[in-house]
Structure 1
């Protein structure tokens, strides 16, 4: 089986990811407040509310960094959107696929720390089909070697 052709996409839109983080932040705030109110009584609102709100706001304010995702027919590369850092080859796996949104896991080949990559169709429509096709069809050299056995 042949590997898919080279592919590159710039991921710069994260609206769906931010909305999901906002929902999780709101759920965290409500859960903390409900728990504190049930355990301590109504006086818990005084100290839990500011902590829960700040945790939820921290999730909202942390902006994902734009990046370039590249397949060179052999390996995946993730490059920072601002440039400067060298791209390292690695393996890409789909963690979640909701049709119009995917959460990808990039594991550098040199034992570096894995990175989670939220990718959405909105804002990347022209490249979306190519990205999904390449993500599912591209295999690392190790995967290809195992498949050839």
Structure 2
């Protein structure tokens, strides 16, 4: 039985990337991933500044989809990358009102990726593969559509 996987991006500083490529991700830390190269680039640059190193990079990370969780921090503190014209205040109002549908549960990774392009993994040991792609050929990763749920009961209006 094959397991469905997805390859996403993780932005980090080059020193951390070397350690990840050698030893894997730290089992004691949450792993943040994105389907957008520009968002990974943003987080990689932030990681470089946080660690006071000289360079940053993006890693491609293959994981089983059932390990993906909603990145609620990305939803609550939205970057302008994915707010698409909403001010931060309007973004929160639209999420709260349901105008922008939020995730149904912690496991609703489809909505998380489609809404913010960000997800997380709480157990980095599930990572299947890590590569350092040619940085000149990074592209946004197509997110598979969310499966539709067929309801057992069909509702109809009476006339």
Q: With structure 1 as the length reference, what TM-score do the two structures score?
A: 0.30
Q: With structure 2 as the length reference, what TM-score do the two structures score?
A: 0.29
Greater share of residues in helix:
1
Q: Which has the higher contact order (CA 8 A, sep 6+)?
A: 2
Greater share of residues in strand:
1
Larger Rg belongs to: 1
